[in-house]
Chains A and B, each alone.
Chain A
Amino acid sequence: MALTIVLVMFALAMALGLAARRGRQMDLEQWTIGRRGFGSVLVFLLMAGEIYTTFTFLGASGYSYGRGAPAFYIIAYGVVAYALGYWFLPRVWRYANDHSLITQADFFAHRFDSRGLGIAVGLIGVIAMLPYLALQLEGLGLIVQITTRGAVGSTTAIVIGTVGLVVYVVISGIHASAWTAVAKDIMVLGLAVFLGVYLPYHAYGGIGDMFRKLAVEYPRLLTLHDPQGPLWFSTTVLVSALGFWMWPHAFAYTFSARDAHIFRRNAIYLPLYQLLLLFVFFAGFAALGIVPGLSKPDLALLAASATTLPGWVLGLIGGAGLLAALVPGSLLLIVTAALLAKNGLALIPAFATEQRTHLSARILVLPIAIGAAAFAIFGNTGIVGLLLLGYSYISQLFPALAFSFLSRRRVGAAAVYAGLASGALVVTILTLTHKHVVTLLPFLPHALTGLNDGIAALVVNVSMLLLVHAFTAREPTPLPQAEG
């Protein structure tokens, strides 16, 4: 029964994705950003698709199950990110629209008048997105395997999911993502609300009763404690909010909008939509009363559902999980391919025509998808580490973007390079040595325990950017030797 439902959902997603192509002349702009024609609803769903991925579905419930209150940061950072987006997304959109830009790397290359910076930004983007894509596929495998009670193995599910993804991405591009996003959000939200009410009721007799009992059973669960104390919470919310808009695919759905007001209106509704994550948390907390002591907290929601619910409901969860992987997965795939084709291959004269760039982007989809699927099947534990590294790299783009809009005098590419490189270096050192800023620099006060490492990297980044800017900004004035 569950298997049938999962297969029907998969077929539905494919049909929607392929139908999305109808009546459209495809070129790179159409394929990557829907020729800047998406209205409020589609842009909203693409933005929100970012929140309700398999990673959030499993990860957010797993975080509340495994750690408790630190999970609330996921709601908080979304709210901060949307408030931020109100002010700067319209500016980014207008600039891209005025100059017909397609990718995030285009944006940086054009804004700072440096093709090299475009390559660097594109490279960072690809490095960050590949593990993210692999993680979506891995989540898809897990969800399908558990909800079909092993009838479809995780590897089989990943392979089938990847094949489907490639087919509809190559044919319909971002239109496939947008159309499936509608079906996905209806499914995922319906199930999240159902599980968030049903599981606490089943395990504890209600949501209020659940928290009252959990507060007695696990006295530290529902508040923040070191090393994830209030300072960790606050700085992590800030860094995540800054990084949220720096993803290459965030630029893609920003560019896909029809007008700038879409971002301002969406900033009103998105915080409320974010609140639906509460139900995912409720489900995660309830799992403590149904399947306590799991070694992999990320499986909490699925394990609790598998013990308490009939096969057909599990099938719906499997179908929703499939869609929750396909929508962001397709967007990641499109944007990675577009970056490699437009900001990499197209620099070679033989590939430079618009037609060839578009063709190479669509061909590149296949090797990228195969790479990500292999990573998901064989990579195992390394993926989350790579994702965190990618996230930290990506958020290092924020100062460059902020300065390019804030300062009246243009910040040069050299200053941006310096900031990016030093920030990324700090991130790499901290990640590779598995140290935190406070442990690496023991003279810092103990009160700074929990400080997000991204903050340290951003501080270094901004300092270097300003330093180099201060030097390079003098260049236009003639040097003394030149005068003599």
Chain B
Amino acid sequence: MSNPSDRHSPLITAVRAALALIPVIALLVGPFFLNHTRPFVLGLPFLMFWVSAWAVIAAVAMGGVYWLDPRRKTHGKARD
């Protein structure tokens, strides 16, 4: 972590892009295939559960994107 440049590796960038994109794709594409009322999960009809679950996963994924962000270490009036 002491060397911020290793965080700029293409692999890290790809992982961050994937983390941000997967929930978006799940929300945009999922309803075409999962447009069901059943099974009920946690009491919710399935489509409602799907959308809600991805909101939670998106929060975790964006946490990962931020954690891996090479600019995260800059403090104060960060200029980016």
Contacts and interface: CB of A to CB of B under 8 A. Distances in A.
A80 interface: yes
Given A75-B55, A230-B35, A267-B66, A224 B47 contact: yes
A110 interface: no
B59 A272 contact: yes
Contacts, number: 120
B20 A264 contact: no
B43 interface: yes
A71 to B, nearest CB: 9
Interface string B40-63: 101111011001101110110011
A274 B55 contact: yes
A224 B35 contact: yes
Given A268-B62, A271-B62, A69 B48 contact: yes
Interface stretch (A206-214, A431-439, A464-472): A206-214
A114 interface: no
A372 B74 CA distance: 44
27 contacts: A69-B45, A76-B27, A76-B55, A78-B55, A79-B55, A80-B28, A83-B20, A83-B24, A91-B80, A208-B40, A211-B44, A215-B45, A219-B37, A223-B35, A223-B36, A223-B45, A224-B31, A230-B32, A233-B31, A238-B28, A261-B74, A261-B78, A264-B65, A267-B65, A268-B62, A272-B56, A275-B52
B29 interface: yes
A198 interface: no
Contacts of A75: 51-52, 55
Interface in A45-94: 69, 72, 75-76, 78-80, 82-83, 86-87, 90-91, 94
Interface string B11-42: 00000000011011001110110011110101
Interface of A: 69, 72, 75-76, 78-80, 82-83, 86-87, 90-91, 94, 206-208, 211-212, 215, 219, 222-224, 229-231, 233-234, 237-238, 258-261, 264-265, 267-269, 271-272, 274-275, 278, 281
A258 B77 contact: yes
A215 B38 contact: yes
A91 to B, nearest CB: 8
A86 B79 contact: no
B72 interface: yes
A222 B48 contact: yes
Given A230-B35, A233-B31, A86 B40 contact: no
Nearest to B60: A268
A78 B36 CA distance: 22
Given A260-B78, A261-B72, A268-B63, A223 B47 contact: yes
A229 B54 CA distance: 19
A234 B55 contact: no
